[in-house]
Amino acid sequence: MLIQQRQPFKEGWSNLWDLTVGGSAVAGDTSQQAAARELFEEIGLRYDFEGLRPHLTSHFDEGFDDVYLIEADIDLSTLVLQQEEVQAVAWATEEEIIARIQAGTFIPYHEGLIPMLFALRKQRGNITSYALL
């Protein structure tokens, strides 16, 4: 899975690794438009989410997160990282992400989320990027 490291000066979870990418919709955006915009803004990758449904939607008091798992051939050296948000990107296995969470170097997602994302990957194809909106 493609993961990204947050900038050390970014408020909230600074310097920690995270799933790629995250952001919020603005007024008038569809979930798909917001996912495409955030993916391009944070790592310079264009992807057409039109017509795609989220693989997962998580509801919470302030709103909801739509999760899209996409498959794409990505050469990390061609990505353009948003300096205000992202300092690095890397490929990581399920075990590597869980180890980073346990070591405190990855955002502490619920322990079941990462295995669930990888299980969804096995059901619907390879995951090479993640958009959390």
The answer to whether 7 touches 14, Cβ cutoff 8 Å, is: yes
Q: What confidence score (pLDDT) does residue 129 get?
A: 53
78: which residues sit within 8 A by CB, 6+ positions away? 44
CATH of the domain at 26: 3.90.79.10
- Domain count across the chain: 1
Residue range of the domain that includes 55 = 2-132
Q: What confidence score (pLDDT) does residue 133 get?
A: 45
For every one of its 133 residues, what pLDDT tens digit does the chain have, with 9 covering 90 and above? 999 999 999 999 999 999 998 888 888 899 999 999 999 999 999 999 999 988 888 888 888 889 999 888 899 999 999 999 999 999 999 999 999 999 999 999 988 999 999 988 767 545 455 555 4
The answer to whether 20 touches 96, Cβ cutoff 8 Å, is: no
The Cβ of residue 33 has, within 10 Å, a number of other Cβ atoms equal to 15
